Amino acid sequence: MSDQQSERVPIQPQTVNAPLSRAAIFLVVTIVDGDAAIATVRDVISDIGGLVRVVGFRDLNGHLSCNLGIGSDAWDRLGQSTKPRQLHPFPEVRGGRHTAASTPGDLLFHIRAERADQCFELERLILDKLRSSITVVDEVNGFRYFDSRDLLGFVDGTENPTGSAMAADTLIGNEDPTFAGGSYVVVQKYLHDLVAWGELTTEDQQRIVGRTKIDNVELDAPDDARKSHKDLNTIVDDDGVEHDILRDNMPFGRPGHGEFGTYFIGYAADVSVIERMISNMFVGVPVGDYDRILDFSAAKTGTTFFLPSNDLLESLAQ
C-alpha cells in the first residue's frame, strides 16, 4: 500500500460546534412525491456548502453557516443502503398533563450568522433551488436576546459542553463508524404564555427553572422538593456519568400577534439523551412530577433529524 493510500483523510463534520450566533433561521420542509423531487433535493443538499460560500463571502465576519439534517423517512427515500443506527421519527411523549408532539419534517436547514440579512439571503437561495420539490412545514426566525436569555428572562444554554467535550457529546464516533462525524438533532418549537409567567414571583420562577434570574447561579433544592427544569434535564447514567447535549436555542416572536417562543434545537451523538430529557420533562421524575415550565410553554412541534458529515452529504449527489 502506498503512503498516500495509507493516509486517512479526516472526516469533516458539519458546523455543529459553531459559536452561538446573533441570528438564525430554522427551516423544516417535507419532500413532495416523485422521483424528480428526490433528484432535485439530492442535488441541492449535496451542494449546500457552495450556497453558503456564495452568500458568506460577502462578509466573512458574518460567520454564515448552515447545518442540514435529514429525517428518517427522507433518508429512506434518498435510496441509501444503510441507515444511522439511532435515526427514527420523533416519538410523541404524552404525559399526564402535557404532550410533546411529533410533527412532520424531511429536511432541516439550521442557518446561522451574525447578520440576519445573510441568513435571509441563504434561505432565499435554498428555497429558490428546491422550488416545487418541497413543502415548507415550519419557518422560524430566531435572534439573540440580550445576554443569551430566553423570553422567560433566564440565560439559556449554560450547560453546553466546551472544548474537547463538545465533539465527544455531539459527534458520532466508532459506535457507528459508517456515520462517524455525523450528529443527531432534535427540534421543538415552544410558545410561551408570558402573561401567566409574569404573574409569578421571581422566587417562584427561579424554583421552576433551578437558577437565579439575574446572575444565572444554580439553586440547590431541598431533597424533598420537586425537581426543577435544570434537574430534569441533567442526565446521569447508572455509572454516575453525566451526559450532555449541545443546545443552540433561539428566542423568536411576533408581539403584534401575541406570539412569543423559544426554538429548542439540541445536537447529540446519542439521541436517547435528548429523548430522556424530554421524557423527564413531560412524564416527570417521579411520574407525574412534570417540568412546571410546561404550564407556561407549550411544545407545538417535535422532529428528529440526522446530520451527516460533509463528506457523506456531498456523496448523496451520486
**pLDDT 10s digits, 153-211:** 999 988 888 888 888 999 999 999 999 999 999 999 999 999 999 999 999 999 999 99
Supply the pLDDT for residue 97.
97
Is 138 marked active-site? no
Supply the pLDDT for residue 7.
42
Supply the pLDDT for residue 10.
64
Residue 280 maps to a domain: yes
Residue 125 maps to a domain: yes
What residue type is assigned to position 94 of the chain?
Answer: R
Per-residue pLDDT, averaged over 112-128, amounts to 98
Supply the pLDDT for residue 159.
82
Categorize the per-residue pLDDT at 5 as very low, low, confident or very high, splitting at 50, 70 and 90.
very low
Supply the pLDDT for residue 8.
43
Supply the pLDDT for residue 92.
98
Grid cell for residue 211 = 437558577
The residues that bridge with 264 in the sheet, in sequence order, are 188
Q: Which residue has the higher pLDDT, 281 or 164?
A: 281
Distance, in Å, from the CA atom of 179 to the CA atom of 202, rounded to the nearest integer, reads 45
- Conformational region of residue 79, where left means phi above 0, alpha means psi within -120 to 50, and beta covers everything else: left
Q: Which helix (H) or strand (E) holds 57?
A: none
The DSSP call for residue 256 is G
Catalytic residue from among 106, 138, 150, 156: 156
Return phi, psi of residue 291, to 5°.
Answer: -70, 115
First vs last Cα of the chain: how many Å apart?
Answer: 27
The DSSP line for 142-210 is EE--TTTB-TTSSB--TT---THHHHHHHS--TTSGGGTT-EEEEEEEEEE-HHHHHTS-HHHHHHHHT
Residue 296 maps to a domain: yes
- Are 108 and 24 in contact by the 8 Å Cβ rule? The answer is no
- What percentage of residues in the chain have a pLDDT greater than 90? 86
Q: Which structural domain, as residue segments, surrounds residue 279? A: 19-315
**pLDDT 10s digits, 35-91:** 999 999 999 999 999 999 999 999 999 999 999 999 999 999 998 889 999 999 999
Residue 13 maps to a domain: no
**pLDDT 10s digits, 208-236:** 999 999 999 999 877 778 999 999 999 99
- Are 109 and 138 in contact by the 8 Å Cβ rule? The answer is no
Beta pairing, strands 99-100 & 183-192 = unpaired
Residue 116 maps to a domain: yes
Grid cell for residue 43 = 442535488
Cβ–Cβ contacts within 10 Å for residue 63, how many? 17
**pLDDT 10s digits, 126-142:** 999 999 999 999 999 99
Residue 122 maps to a domain: yes
Residue 3 pLDDT exceeds 50: no
Each residue of 277-304: b (16+ CB within 10 Å) or e? bbbbbbbbbeeeebbbbbebbebebbbb
Residue 10 maps to a domain: no
Angle at the Cα of 147 (from 226 to 140), degrees rounded to 5? Answer: 85
Cα dihedral 269, 264, 234, 13 in deg (nearest 10):
20
Supply the pLDDT for residue 169.
94
The DSSP call for residue 211 is B
The number of distinct structural domains making up the chain is 1
Residue 159 maps to a domain: yes
Grid cell for residue 248 = 443552540
Supply the pLDDT for residue 11.
80
List, in sequence order, the alpha helices (H) in 18-170. Answer: 35-46, 48-56, 72-77, 116-130, 164-170
Grid cell for residue 53 = 460560500
Supply the pLDDT for residue 20.
87
Return phi, psi of residue 210, to 5°.
Answer: 95, 15
- Are 115 and 62 in contact by the 8 Å Cβ rule? The answer is yes
